[in-house]
Amino acid sequence: MGHSGLVPPHGGELVDRTGASPERVAPRVAVTLTERQQCDFEMLAIGAMSPLEGFMGAADVASVCDRMTLADGTLWPMPITCAVDDATAAKVKLGEPVSLVDDAGRLLGYLTVTEKFRQDKKRQAVKAFGTDDPAHPGVKVLMDEGDTCLAGRIDVVTPRHGPMFADHRLTPAQTRAEFERRGWRTVAAFQTRNPIHRAHEYLTKCAQEITDGLLIHPLMGATKDGDIAPEVRMKCYEVLIEGYYHPDHTMLSVMPAAMRYAGPREAILHAILRQNYGCSHIIIGRDHAGVGDYYGTYEAQEIFDALPDGALKIMPLKFEHAAWSKRAGGMVSGKTFPKIEGDQVFLSGTKVREMLLRGERPPVEFTRPEIADILIESMRQS
């Protein structure tokens, strides 16, 4: 990969676990993956989680929790595990493959089990999420899953059956090929799980000024209740890009990962994933991957400063909160313009939601009218 000029994958090689044949003798045990495990499975399958080749064993999980590295010293911030209930775990024999199926019972692939271990959920929650509060959506998913983890390499028949947005669901190998086709060497990734409003548009365009291209890379795996429906978000991205971005320097692809809402550690994970997709830069905004008030406003940016040199090849682009300034007549941030009482157009998410529910468009300084229309229409229908 080195000669292409794109950033190398995390760990040096892009993993590909796809292409397994479904025709083998069906294993004795089938494991139904949870929604988050299905997302992790797809990300592992396509190499987005390189250098991982499957679900983590106990040594890697412990090392990730304590040192934020895999057991071999490679930077990695979050445990990626396949937890099952006790009844399933009891049936599994070490060295044997198990079938991995989705909630409809369709075969996804196989896991050759090299290890079974009990997970210490409380410890993992405190280390990875910084809290064991069951009200935290990521902690809740962890607490609700089984107590025993199955570790081993996966062999993938299909990363996912009938996935949404199949034409925009590019693998890391495909995004890298497309960047090369476009002649992009430097690419900024924008992680998002919401429609893009004017403040985010400003951040992405600042990033475009200093790179060859922008990958708008919405996370379309499992999110929490209350997040906007994927189809609605996708329509917002397409309309916005068509109307307000340069087609030669902008690309849209979805990332099938699950949100963990782990704040600073998830910001590192998002950076690793985007490095695997071929991006040289990632936009890290205020409270990246945060939820509620579990994390400090800029904690997700500060964690990058503590990493050893060379641990990541992708560069974080750190942005402060941006808003429209009436006095400046444009978008400003805490770095570019002083705060003046009543000058900035700032709307809370709750206030925007209330306006949209009433069928009112938020001001153009906050959101593009086409985006407001899509959101108003989707709320009318729900």
Burial of 362-379, coded b for 16+ CB within 10 Å and e otherwise, reads: beebbbbeebbebbbebe
Three-class DSSP category at 277: coil
The catalytic position among 36, 169, 193, 286 is 193
pLDDT at 226: 67
Q: Are residues 133 and 205 in the same domain?
A: no
Q: Are residues 144 and 189 in the same domain?
A: no
282-295 pLDDT, tens per residue?
999 888 888 889 99
The catalytic position among 153, 194, 353, 361 is 194
> Residue 221: which CATH number?
3.40.50.620
Is 194 considered catalytic here?
A: yes
Specify the pTM: 0.95
- Please state, rounded to an integer, the average pLDDT across all residues of the chain: 94
Q: Are residues 112 and 241 in the same domain?
A: no
Q: Are residues 31 and 96 in the same domain?
A: yes
pLDDT at 149: 98
Band of residue 2 on the pLDDT scale cut at 50, 70, 90: very low
Beta strand extents in 49-123 (DSSP E only)? 54-55, 83-84, 97-101, 107-112, 115-118
- Count of CB atoms within 10 A of residue 241's CB? 17
pLDDT at 255: 96
State the Cα–Cα distance between residues 263 and 297, nearest whole angstrom.
Answer: 10
CB 379 within 8 A of CB 356: yes
Q: Are residues 144 and 180 in the same domain?
A: no
pLDDT at 3: 47
Band of residue 72 on the pLDDT scale cut at 50, 70, 90: very high
CB 168 within 8 A of CB 253: yes
State the Cα–Cα distance between residues 55 and 174, nearest whole angstrom.
Answer: 23
Average pLDDT on 253-269 reads 95
Average pLDDT on 184-205 reads 95
Average pLDDT on 33-52 reads 97
Percent of residues, the chain, with pLDDT higher than 70:
98
Q: Are residues 28 and 134 in the same domain?
A: yes
Band of residue 351 on the pLDDT scale cut at 50, 70, 90: confident
pLDDT at 292: 87
State the Cα–Cα distance between residues 347 and 194, nearest whole angstrom.
Answer: 15
pLDDT at 227: 73
> Residue 11: which CATH number?
3.10.400.10
pLDDT at 222: 67
Question: Could you say which of 156, 184, 208 is where a domain stops?
Answer: 156
Instruction: Give how many domains the chain has, as a whole number.
Output: 2
Average pLDDT on 298-325 reads 95
Average pLDDT on 89-118 reads 96
Question: Could you say which of 279, 300, 322 is where a domain stops?
Answer: 322
CB 188 within 8 A of CB 207: yes
pLDDT at 224: 65
Average pLDDT on 59-63 reads 98
Is 276 considered catalytic here?
A: no
Q: Which residues contact 229 (CB under 8 A, 6 or more apart)?
A: 378
Question: Could you say which of 290, 306, 322 is where a domain stops?
Answer: 322
Res. 98: pLDDT tops 70: yes
Res. 23: pLDDT tops 80: no
Residue numbers of the domain that contains 15: 2-156
pLDDT at 225: 65
Q: Are residues 92 and 224 in the same domain?
A: no
Res. 89: pLDDT tops 50: yes
